[in-house]
Amino acid sequence: MTVKAAIEAMRHDSQVWDQVSSVARRAAEEADALTLGGSRLSWASVPTGLLHSYAEIQQKVAALLTEGAAVLGELSITLDEVATAYELSDERAAARFKGVWDVRG
């Protein structure tokens, strides 16, 4: 695989992870918005603790999705930074060794 192909693959993967991060962020927002009151769960949801458990689970799911979105976003940024570093390194190497491999006749 050439350096150019590797850089393109990293940039592509960076975009994919950025999209996945956006989906996870939207899912966290949706999970946070799924609030149910006692009357919507069951008449027994308050005395049995179901309402409290539901609220805890909802908060935990929203927090995990938010954390996941952040990690995936960081992964996207890191891949893009690595691609840029490779690109700059390749350009510097090309400039440094320009003409070294030219056929002399």
The per-residue pLDDT for range 23-47, each reduced to its tens digit, is: 999 999 999 998 888 778 778 888 8
For 6-21, how does the pLDDT look when each residue is reduced to its tens digit (9 = 90+)?
Answer: 899 999 999 999 999 9
Classify domain 3-88 at the CATH topology level.
Helix Hairpins (1.10.287)
Q: What is the DSSP string of the chain?
A: --HHHHHHHHHHHHHHHHHHHHHHHHHHHHHHH----HHHH-TTHHHHTHHHHHHHHHHHHHHHHHHHHHHHHHHHHHHHHHHHHHHHHHHHHHHHTTTTT----
Q: Is the pLDDT of residue 74 over 80?
A: yes
C-alpha span between 69 and 22 (Å, rounded) = 7
Backbone angles phi and psi of 36, in degrees to 5: -125, 135
| Domain residue ranges in the chain | 3-88
For 79-104, how does the pLDDT look when each residue is reduced to its tens digit (9 = 90+)?
Answer: 999 999 988 887 777 677 676 666 66
The answer to whether 15 touches 56, Cβ cutoff 8 Å, is no
Backbone angles phi and psi of 43, in degrees to 5: -65, -25
